[in-house]
Structure 1
Amino acid sequence: MEVDMDLKRAFHELQEKLVYTSQKIKLADLQIETLRRTKQHNLLTKQELETIPKDVKTYEALGRAFILTPRDDVFKNLNKINNDTEQKIKTLENSKQYLDKNLKESENNLREMVQRKREGDKETEKSSAASSKA
């Protein structure tokens, strides 16, 4: 009976790890999607700014306010934000790959544990059947 409790506890721990990892993967997906939208928004803003004349006043959002900013500075800021966003996306994708690998490993461990439990139950049935014949 002691072995069954150990298996049950290990099964529960693996299940918790599986749920935790799945949640982390979903969170990483959401963050990546948000960052991609931000990047796309910045690229569209940059494209629109390129179509207007250079002498037009440009404003940049600062919280709830807008500040008069030279056009070149707006481009620099958009490029900087896009570079930072790209780095964050790469970091999140690497993290997601690690979590995916961890999730698959946990699933495999869970399958192996269930398989061992089934094999152990079959052996117990065979040994009890053999003892009842004797």
Structure 2
Amino acid sequence: MEVDMDLRKAFHELQEKLVYTSQKIKLADLQINTLRQHKQHNLLTKQELETIPKDVKTYEALGRAFVLTPRDDVFKNLNKFNDDTEQKIKVLENSKQYLNGNLKESENNLREMVQRKKEEGDKDAEKSQAGTSKA
């Protein structure tokens, strides 16, 4: 039984898409985990800063250096970073959902194609049987 070239091509494309999509999903998962770790680190930093007296000097990292920064500005920067992180996580999760949906759609299209080819093959077999029984 010879494999239909359309099916072979569709399987090959689906396999490529599956590999590409799974790599993208893994990358998104890694990025989400990293962002969540950074967010957790910032939340812990914020909690620790809240425990110290308000008159203590606070410093913020700027590359390899530390810069004297007012306490309120440190809190604003930590909150801004956490908000930005949350937005990035939402974008990555939406991207992941899109990739999963796209992959499932491709699989369904392939299933439909296999089903159509199978039905066409069954019809051809019935026609050939009807033709041989009449002869």
TM over 0.5: yes
Aligned to 2:41: 41
Aligned to 1:60: 60
TM-score (norm 1): 0.82
- Look up the equivalent residue of 1:8 and give its one-letter code: R
Q: Secondary structure at the match of 2:56?
A: coil
CA distance in 2, matches of 1:89, 1:30: 11
CA distance in 1, matches of 2:44, 2:23: 32
Structure 1 alignment gaps of length 5 or more: none
Q: Secondary structure at the match of 1:67?
A: strand
Q: Secondary structure at the match of 1:83?
A: helix
Aligned to 1:97: 97
- Look up the equivalent residue of 1:36 and give its one-letter code: R
Matches within 5 A, 1:87-126: 87-119=87-119
CA distance in 1, matches of 2:88, 2:20: 22
CA distance in 2, matches of 1:57, 1:128: 90
TM-score (norm 2): 0.82
CA distance in 1, matches of 2:15, 2:129: 33
Length, aligned pairs only: 132
Moved over 2 A (4+): 109-134
Matches within 5 A, 1:22-37: 22-37=22-37
How much has 1:107 moved relative to structure 2? Answer: 2.1
Aligned to 2:50: 50
Checking the alignment, whether the CA contact within 8 Å between 1:60 and 1:67 is kept in structure 2 is yes
